[in-house]
Amino acid sequence: MVSQALDDLRAEHRWMTGLLDLLQGQIRLVAEDRQADGGLLLEIVEFFASFPDLFHHPKEDLILRRLVARSPAEASSLQQLEIEHEEGGREFKRFMRTAIRLVLDPEVDPDRFLSAALAFMESERRHMAWEEDNLFRTAEHFLLPEDWHDIDTQLKCFIEPLRKQEGRSRYKRISRSVGWWRAGSSAASALPHDEPT
């Protein structure tokens, strides 16, 4: 383990990938003119509306800031992170609006939902792959043990109280739907709220 923060980020990417797989299943249902699971869709929306900005992006931003200070030349190509997060936020809001509309009235404009949900899903997958190939690897290569120690110490004070406030039970449908997915998957350990403290 280089850093708890980096381990957590990778685990969260696995977890979010699992949620995007669930979303993909719902997209498929709508594309086939079948009924989506509205409760599950709303939980996926709720998760992505809060978790990334509260728990995930702050860790990435902190790592990037440290990298800028430690190794500005290497960090210069990573400055698009902030723009990526903003663009991702816009894609998410479009998806959220169309998902809510679909749940309220499944007959009205499912194509808009399909286009927004696909765009969000693809942009999230691409963004996570970009971070793993660029931000995480560069940070692993150039940050020193004392950098990681400081990052982990800073985050501990920030993340733990938040984690206590978030109840895993808040995402009951996701937990249930993920059950089948977890059964044969090493990603079980990736659950951000797996063992709430």
Residues lying near Fe ion in the complex (CB under 5 A): 60, 131
CA angle 81, 82, 86 (to 5 degrees): 115
CB atoms closer than 10 angstroms to residue 183? 8
Distances in Å between the alpha carbon of 41 and those of 57, 142, 178, 196?
22, 40, 13, 23
Q: Which residue has the tokens 């509205």?
A: 38
- Choice between 131 and 147, CB closer to Fe ion: 131
Q: Which is nearer to Fe ion, 113 or 120 (CB)?
A: 120
Q: Which is nearer to Fe ion, 13 or 98 (CB)?
A: 13
Cα dihedral angle (138, 142, 144, 149), rounded to 10 degrees?
-20
CB of 111 to Fe ion, least distance (A): 28
Closest distance of CB 161 from Fe ion, Å? 21
Residue among 77 and 108 whose Cβ is closer to Fe ion: 77
Helix (H, G, I), strand (E, B) or coil at 37: coil
For 69-80, the three-class secondary structure string (H helix, E strand, C coil) is HHCHHHHHHHCH
Q: Which is nearer to Fe ion, 34 or 126 (CB)?
A: 126
Residue nearest to Fe ion (CB): 131
Shortest CB 138 distance to Fe ion, Å: 14
- Compute the least distance from the CB of residue 40 to Fe ion, in Å: 23
Q: How far is the CB of 191 from Fe ion (least distance, A)?
A: 16
